[in-house]
């Protein structure tokens, strides 16, 4: 905008400034400005207003306003593969020089030769082997640093931006909106809890103690006179499907008032939330946008959404249609 | 105090009133008024001032102010037996009519005949059996109600007051003082997490999500079309000794800035806390008051304090001498 010279232009300029700031103010006043006006946005706002209105029939005291969010496919993308798996694969490649024996040992041999299909021919066991060597055998502090280093440098293969910029802008707004309204926002994800905690506070504003996830066992040891926690190659807890209500009960000990997922892995969490007394909110992010993100549902290997979609439809849970409900998908790139 | 009749008496009366209210105000101004002035109280106040003074060398941002407290023997008493064990025993007695087979089956047979020593002759296995039948086989909601009913009616055998009035008044003040100063207060206890969560919010002001404890496995099931979590008779995690740093990392994901315990069961938690960068506070409640509570340490079966006491002495951790440091032990009885 250039500064006008004519007196009338000045008046128009002043008016345009007022209008422009009114526009900005309107956008700033809308905490969910990346959401199109529609049923999904209305359902969220209506729910929050009802449970936070003192004296209202649906009022819920602040300590009970627990909101749980799945991570992969709900807060950030999960295609073409779970981002944690991309981390695991990069890590195996990075560790390979220290493990000459992998050249003769499956699934590492195929994997390092670039044959992912061959590597995964061993099924779940092969995958667990790849994940365990990349996630265990180090202290918790070392693992945290490894994740931080990776997440700072790795780029998403399609969007060519850091994975931490592949989260959904409308969901970031929803997290902030809920916190402004006295909710405690939690992640409840099948991902490794320590993989997530290395960056969730910075990226989502969700502190480590509000991240629930899958865990591997750790062991307390004294090393050179200093206590460390060693990460063991042994699964402790899988926070997925029927594990999600178990994880919520174990880590939080309180039933969510609001829960958001995107796949059948979240179905039991949504059922558990819905079964609570009084008003509850159950939401699904439905990936319908092949152009701006991806479109997948009932037959997808990653983030299959089938039974949960049927129950959502039958019970009137909120289904967020990514293509129609979201003005933007990702946040603007950070200044790089 | 009677109302004086003489004019001079009135003046003195007025002066005494002013002095009395000044005294009350001073007590109210001291958030740790049940603590005697001494090294322990000074150490706590000095630490809190240093980590909360903006711009100071030891300043710690609020999200990192995590304080963890052991429960049995640190926040409430643990003699003559852990209160959760008293619950278990009462529960077994209550369930006995539904289990006629127990009359012929150890350890129940001896236990129900009043022979605790005989019942526990089976060692740890017998104890686990007694605990499991009293803690498992019900839904999480049913268990919570059972604990609430018990804690509302059971009385401590020596003090003849509810167990929830056998917590330490000075520690209640410490919890509140820390929270006022931006700390998040956690329980990290060997006790069953769901046993504690049934009453910690009301008694300590500590919400369920800030209680870390031992867990038994739970299983998600649909029962009459409603989702429930069944408590299984299978240990999931023991939050004691080397388990405490593991539990802290798993549930909180952040190292405590301050930790308080009373026994060797807390030793590793204190070591883990001490190994963090910068200023940290490690505290022990030392049971030295046989008259007002109990005196026990190195050879006690309950709450043995031996190695942790040696390390506390060697490293200058704060040892709270109950007899000398605390003006009062328990809070005044609630209006009954």
Measured between CA atoms, the residue of chain B closest to residue A201 is B63
Helix axes B169-180, B39-52, angle to 10 degrees: 20
List chain A residues with CB under 8 Å of B143: none
In a mutational test of the A interface, the residue from B209, B224, B241, B277 whose CB has the highest number of chain A CBs within 10 Å is B209
pLDDT of residue B20: 46
Give per-residue pLDDT as tens, B152-205: 999 999 999 999 999 999 999 999 999 999 999 999 999 999 999 999 999 999
- Nearest one of B263, B288, B83, B90 to B167, comparing CA atoms: B83
In a mutational test of the B interface, the residue from A201, A210, A249 whose CB has the highest number of chain B CBs within 10 Å is A249
List chain B residues with CB under 8 Å of A236: 250
Alpha-carbon distance B264 to B267, whole Å? 5
Q: Are the C-beta atoms of B142 and B223 separated by less than 8 Å? A: no
What are the backbone angles phi and psi of residue B330, rounded to the nearest 5°? -105, 155
pLDDT of residue B27: 56
Q: State the nearest Cα–Cα gap between A137 and chain B, in angstroms.
A: 16
B143, two tokens: 């268990």
> Cβ of B208 and A252 within 8 Å?
yes
What are the backbone angles phi and psi of residue B201, rounded to the nearest 5°? -65, -45
Tell me the percentage of chain B whose pLDDT exceeds 70: 91
Alpha-carbon distance B199 to B191, whole Å? 13
Task: List beta partners, residue B220.
Answer: B229
Polymer length in residues for chain B: 336
List chain A residues with CB under 8 Å of B208: 252-254
Contacts of B259 (CB under 8 A, 6+ apart): B67, B68, B69, B188, B266, B269, B270, B272, B273, B280, B281, B282, B283
A119, two tokens: 């590597």
pLDDT of residue A28: 63
H-run or E-run covering B58: none
- Report the SS3 class of residue B284: strand
pLDDT band at B229 (very low <50, low <70, confident <90, very high): very high
Q: Are the C-beta atoms of A163 and A83 separated by less than 8 Å? A: yes
What are the backbone angles phi and psi of residue B69, rounded to the nearest 5°? -125, 130
Sheet holding A226-237, edge to edge: A226-237, A211-223, A184-192, A66-69, A258-261, A281-286, A318-321
Alpha-carbon distance B213 to B326, whole Å? 27
Question: How confident is the prediction along chain A (336 residues), in pLDDT tens digits per residue?
Answer: 344 444 445 444 454 544 444 444 455 689 999 999 999 999 999 999 999 999 999 999 999 999 999 999 999 999 999 999 999 999 999 999 999 999 999 999 999 999 988 988 888 888 888 889 999 999 999 999 999 999 999 999 999 999 999 999 999 999 999 999 999 999 999 999 999 999 999 999 999 999 999 999 999 999 999 999 999 999 999 999 999 999 999 999 999 999 999 999 999 999 999 999 999 999 999 999 999 999 999 999 999 999 999 999 999 999 999 999 999 999 998 755
Q: Are the C-beta atoms of B141 and A249 separated by less than 8 Å? A: no
Measured between CA atoms, the residue of chain B closest to residue A231 is B246
Q: Are the C-beta atoms of B233 and B132 separated by less than 8 Å? A: yes
Give per-residue pLDDT as tens, A8-49: 454 444 545 444 444 444 556 899 999 999 999 999 999 999
Measured between CA atoms, the residue of chain A closest to residue B214 is A250
Q: Are the C-beta atoms of B264 and B304 separated by less than 8 Å? A: yes
- Mean pLDDT in residue range B246-255: 98
pLDDT of residue B335: 59
- Mean pLDDT in residue range B122-131: 87
Q: State the nearest Cα–Cα gap between A159 and chain B, in angstroms.
A: 31
pTM of the predicted structure, to 2 decimals: 0.91
Instruction: Please state whether the peptide bond connecting residue A163 to the residue before it is cis, i.e. omega within 30 degrees of 0.
Output: no
- Nearest one of B42, B52, B26 to B279, comparing CA atoms: B52
- How far, rounded to the nearest angstrom, does the alpha carbon of residue A217 sit from its chain's CA centroid? 23
In a mutational test of the B interface, the residue from A194, A209, A222 whose CB has the highest number of chain B CBs within 10 Å is A209
How many other C-beta atoms can be found within 10 angstroms of the C-beta atom of residue B224? 5
- Nearest one of A146, A138, A153 to A223, comparing CA atoms: A138
Measured between CA atoms, the residue of chain A closest to residue B63 is A207
A226, two tokens: 């200093």
Task: List beta partners, residue B71.
Answer: none
Q: Which of B140, B208, B242 sits opposite A220 (nearest CB)?
A: B242
Measured between CA atoms, the residue of chain A closest to residue B197 is A253
Measured between CA atoms, the residue of chain B closest to residue A66 is B209
Q: State the nearest Cα–Cα gap between A242 and chain B, in angstroms.
A: 6
What are the backbone angles phi and psi of residue B333, rounded to the nearest 5°? -60, 140
- Report the SS3 class of residue B162: strand
Alpha-carbon distance A9 to A239, whole Å? 62
Q: Which of A63, A246, A268 sits opposite B218 (nearest CB)?
A: A246
Phi-psi region of A73 (alpha: psi -120 to 50; beta: other; left: phi over 0): left
pLDDT of residue A27: 56
> Cβ of A209 and B252 within 8 Å?
yes
Q: Which of B215, B249, B271 sits opposite A250 (nearest CB)?
A: B215
Alpha-carbon distance A129 to B86, whole Å? 45
- Mean pLDDT in residue range B137-152: 98
Q: Which of B208, B227, B249 sits opposite A253 (nearest CB)?
A: B208
- Report the SS3 class of residue A76: strand
Q: Which of A193, A243, A254 sits opposite B208 (nearest CB)?
A: A254
Q: Are the C-beta atoms of A231 and A140 separated by less than 8 Å? A: yes
pLDDT band at B75 (very low <50, low <70, confident <90, very high): very high
Task: Round the average pLDDT of chain B to a whole number and report it.
Answer: 92
Cα of first residue to Cα of last residue in chain B, in angstroms, is: 26
Number of A:B CB contacts under 8 A? 82
B261, two tokens: 């315990």
List chain A residues with CB under 8 Å of B253: 193-194, 197, 208-209, 211
Q: Are the C-beta atoms of B59 and B279 separated by less than 8 Å? A: no
A120, two tokens: 């995964």
Residue A179: Cβ-neighbour burial (10 angstroms; 0-12, 13-18, 19+): middle
List chain B residues with CB under 8 Å of A229: 245-246, 249
Measured between CA atoms, the residue of chain B closest to residue A184 is B209
Q: Which of A63, A249, A254 sits opposite B229 (nearest CB)?
A: A249
Per-residue pLDDT for B21 more than 80?
Answer: no
Give per-residue pLDDT as tens, A44-79: 999 999 999 999 999 999 999 999 999 999 999 999
Q: Which residues of B touch chain A, with CB atoms under 8 Å apart?
A: 63, 66, 140, 184, 193-194, 197, 201, 207-209, 211, 215, 218-220, 226-227, 229, 236, 242-243, 245-246, 249-254, 268, 271-272, 275
> Cβ of B209 and A252 within 8 Å?
yes
């Amino acid at each position: 905008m250039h500064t006008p010279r004519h007196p009338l232009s000045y008046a128009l300029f002043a008016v345009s400034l007022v209008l422009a700031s009114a526009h900005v103010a309107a956008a700033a006043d809308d905490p969910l400005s990346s959401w199109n006006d529609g049923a999904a946005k209305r359902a969220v706002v209506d729910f929050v207003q009802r449970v936070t209105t003192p004296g209202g029939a649906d009022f819920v005291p602040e300590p009970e306003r627990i909101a749980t969010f799945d991570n992969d496919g709900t807060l950030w993308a999960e295609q073409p593969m779970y981002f944690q798996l991309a981390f695991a694969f990069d890590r195996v490649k990075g560790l390979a020089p220290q493990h000459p024996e992998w050249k003769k040992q499956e699934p590492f041999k195929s994997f390092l030769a670039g044959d992912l299909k061959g590597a995964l021919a061993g099924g779940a066991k092969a995958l667990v082997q790849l994940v365990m060597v990349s996630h265990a055998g180090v202290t918790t502090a070392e693992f945290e640093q490894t994740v931080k280093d990776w997440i700072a440098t790795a780029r998403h293969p399609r969007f060519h931006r850091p994975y931490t910029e592949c989260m959904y802008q409308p969901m970031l707004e929803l997290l902030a909106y809920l916190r402004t309204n006295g909710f405690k926002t939690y992640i409840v994800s099948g991902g490794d809890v320590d993989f997530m905690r290395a960056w969730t506070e910075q990226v989502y504003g969700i502190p480590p103690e509000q991240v629930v996830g899958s865990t591997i066992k750790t062991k307390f040891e004294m090393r050179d006179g200093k206590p460390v926690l060693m990460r063991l190659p042994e699964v402790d807890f899988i926070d997925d499907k029927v594990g999600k209500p178990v994880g919520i009960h174990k880590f939080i000990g309180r039933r969510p008032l609001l829960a958001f997922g995107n796949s059948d892995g979240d179905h039991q969490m949504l059922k558990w939330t819905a079964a609570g007394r009084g008003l509850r909110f159950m939401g699904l992010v439905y990936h319908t946008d092949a152009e701006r993100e991806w479109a997948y549902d009932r037959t997808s290997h990653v983030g299959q959404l089938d039974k949960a979609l049927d129950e959502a439809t039958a019970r009137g849970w909120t289904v967020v249609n990514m293509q129609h409900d979201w003005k933007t998908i990702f946040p603007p790139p950070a200044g790089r």
